[in-house]
Chains A and B, each alone.
Chain A
Amino acid sequence: DTGVSQNPRHKITKRGQNVTFRCDPISEHNRLYWYRQTLGQGPEFLTYFQNEAQLEKSRLLSDRFSAERPKGSFSTLEIQRTEQGDSAMYLCASSLSLGLKNIQYFGAGTRLSVL
């Protein structure tokens, strides 16, 4: 049973460029989440999918951010026209919707640096 996989692990880009991150959840997990973590802070929720439907979006998810989960399996998070303030660790998590607990299991994250 492999864990949540995120690619790339590190991304360095210039301001104004577009970037895309990929997340592969634990197989059979129907829920997938994106969080952002800046230095010295805990993760902040961005968005969540149940299967292919995007059910919750944070106000942090500006119109430059778009997330998709087209077939209910892997997900992509795209940031258009990156800004220096987008520099952060982007964490993906997945869970299986059984019972109330619904533990979210995280990947190792993609660290984005915008120069």
Chain B
Amino acid sequence: AQKITQTQPGMFVQEKEAVTLDCTYDTSDPSYGLFWYKQPSSGEMIFLIYQGSYDQQNATEGRYSLNFQKARKSANLVISASQLGDSAMYFCAMREGMNTGFQKLVFGTGTRLLVSP
């Protein structure tokens, strides 16, 4: 079964608007972490934001926030005030067994975001 599902292959947004990128996940492990990475055309994966399964508050990092709905197993990324430089692929990832030492990240297939002027 797909562990990370990103159903939006592409999203378009105008500069200065907010955009939500969807991510749903599947795990039976109570201890897991959710990550969002940005991959520009240069190829480097840039870490954006992290949410732990036991975190009570939704994570925020500058213009990025994570809408974490544990019961629905969703971890959507919200980018506020989009900028042209936000155009890139965005990947959602999960690490299970956070307290057992497993390190493998499992990624979704990504969403391509295009920000227009």
Contacts and interface: CB of A to CB of B under 8 A. Distances in A.
Interface in B90-113: 91, 93, 95, 98-99, 102-110
Interface stretch (B11-19, B39-47, B78-86): B39-47
Contacts of B95: 102
Given A100-B99, A103-B47, A42 B91 contact: yes
Contact of A109 (B43, B105, B107): B43
B44 A108 contact: yes
Band of interface residues on A: 20 to 34
Interface residues of B, number: 26
A44 B105 CA distance: 8
Given A42-B93, A89-B43, A91-B45, A104 B105 contact: yes
A107 B43 CA distance: 8
Contacts of B44: 3, 106-109
Given A89-B43, A100-B52, A105-B47, A44 B107 contact: yes
B50 interface: yes
Interface in A1-29: 3
A46 to B, nearest CB: 10
B103 A106 contact: no
Interface in B26-76: 33, 35, 37, 42-47, 50, 52
A105 B45 CA distance: 8
A101 B105 CA distance: 12
Interface of B: 4, 33, 35, 37, 42-47, 50, 52, 91, 93, 95, 98-99, 102-110
